[in-house]
Amino acid sequence: MLTQGQAAPDFTLNDKDGVPVTLSSFRGRRVVLYFYPKDMTPGCTRQACAFAAAYQDFRDLDAVVIGVSRDSEASHRRFAEKNSLPFILLSDPERAAIEAFGVWQEKRNYGKVTMGVVRSTFVIGPDGVIEKVIPNAKPDTNAGEILAYLRG
């Protein structure tokens, strides 16, 4: 997993509407980039809804919020509509960004070992350098923790 002080790898992925979004296009602003396992699951829904509830606070701090998972554009569209998510959701079925940021890892669940996305959040500075990393982010506290960091 990437760490604080490293340059954030650039990528271009499609959003829920099939529009390509490039990370470097947000240079000059802070980006809250969070990776999550799957649309519509309980933890991922709580996390997304917490970011949505605090969305105006992130905007007031001139921070862009971007969620990334392996789900399809159509899945993201349904997820965003169902939960009124105002921020960018990017589809990464080929795991380009997921692997570049090092969040595709071995996971253990009930003794079974599988590979999957480890819920992680990166704050990327205006210069494209990672300012903060929260590995194994908690769905219920992640948005608040990031806001507290951004407020200093």
Does 85 map to a domain? yes
CA 105 vs. chain centroid, Å, equals 16
Domain residues for 22?
A: 12-151
| CATH number for 73 | 3.40.30.10
Q: Which of 2, 44, 48, 90 is catalytic?
A: 44
pTM score above 0.95: yes
Q: Residue 71's pLDDT is what?
A: 98
For residue 44, how many C-alpha atoms fall within 13 Å in the half-sphere facing its CB? 20
Does 4 map to a domain? no
Sole residue written with tokens 């569209």: 77
Does 1 map to a domain? no
Q: Residue 101's pLDDT is what?
A: 98
Does 47 map to a domain? yes
Does 123 map to a domain? yes
Q: Residue 135's pLDDT is what?
A: 97
> Is residue 44 among the annotated active site residues?
yes
- Torsion sign over Cα 10, 106, 118, 20: positive
Residue-wise pLDDT tens for the chain (152 aa)?
999 999 999 999 999 999 999 999 999 999 999 999 999 999 999 999 999 999 999 999 999 999 999 999 999 999 999 999 999 999 999 999 999 999 999 998 888 999 999 999 999 999 999 999 999 999 999 999 999 999 99
Number of domains making up the chain = 1
| Helix locations, 25-120, DSSP H | 42-53, 55-60, 73-83, 96-100
Q: Residue 109's pLDDT is what?
A: 83
Does 36 map to a domain? yes
- For the chain, where are the E strands, in sequence order? 12-15, 20-22, 30-35, 63-69, 88-91, 104-109, 112-117, 120-124, 130-134
| Alpha carbons 147 and 152: distance in angstroms, whole number | 9
| Alpha carbons 13 and 16: distance in angstroms, whole number | 10
Does 98 map to a domain? yes
